[in-house]
Structure 1
Amino acid sequence: MTQGGTTFGTVVRWDDEDPGAVIEAPDLPGGCWADAAAVEQSTTGSGGLRAGQVVEVEWARPGAHGLPFRALRVVPRNDLQATVGG
């Protein structure tokens, strides 16, 4: 049975060799794999993400790349980025 939803998460790492990211979120215990094709190109330019970046994730189960969840769509949220002292 496929399950899914939308949540906010943080990029843990970006993999250039197998283009994609590992995203962590409280709603996604164990992590979420985000293939580069799932990243909204219009908001990122290059299609890549960076560690520490806050993203909105539309996710589904089962997962991919050994993680319990996979991203169907990832939107970088520049309006929610952490700032110094905040």
Structure 2
Amino acid sequence: MDHQTGEDDGIVRFWHDDEGWGVIDSPSTPGGCWTHFSAIEAEGFRSLTPGARVRLHWESPGQDGYNYRATWTH
């Protein structure tokens, strides 16, 4: 897959607080977009809630078996 980037709205599929990562589903990232707590724009403890709507910037290739990786999430 060539390097691509984009921005979209998505919904958090799942989040692992103990490991600091999760997956966001969006129309632009079929199969899910891997995200890490370091990409979350927030103060204090950075976490996402499953089912929450978020805005994300993404890139490919992804990480850990996902074709896409979030570079910014809000």
TM-score, normalised with respect to structure 2: 0.91
Q: Which residue of 2 aligns with 1:31?
A: 32
Gaps of 5+ in 2: none
Work out the number of aligned pairs and report it. 73
Q: What's the C-alpha RMSD, in Å, of the aligned pairs? A: 1.1
User: Which protein is richer in strand relative to its size?
Assistant: 2
Amino-acid identity (%): 36
Q: Where has structure 1 moved over 2 Å in runs of 4 or more?
A: none
Q: Which residue of 2 aligns with 1:70?
A: 69
Task: Specify the structure having the higher radius of gyration (Cα).
Answer: 1
TM-score, normalised with respect to structure 1: 0.79
Gaps of 5+ in 1: 76-86
User: Which protein is richer in helix relative to its size?
Assistant: 1
Q: Which residue of 2 aligns with 1:3?
A: 4
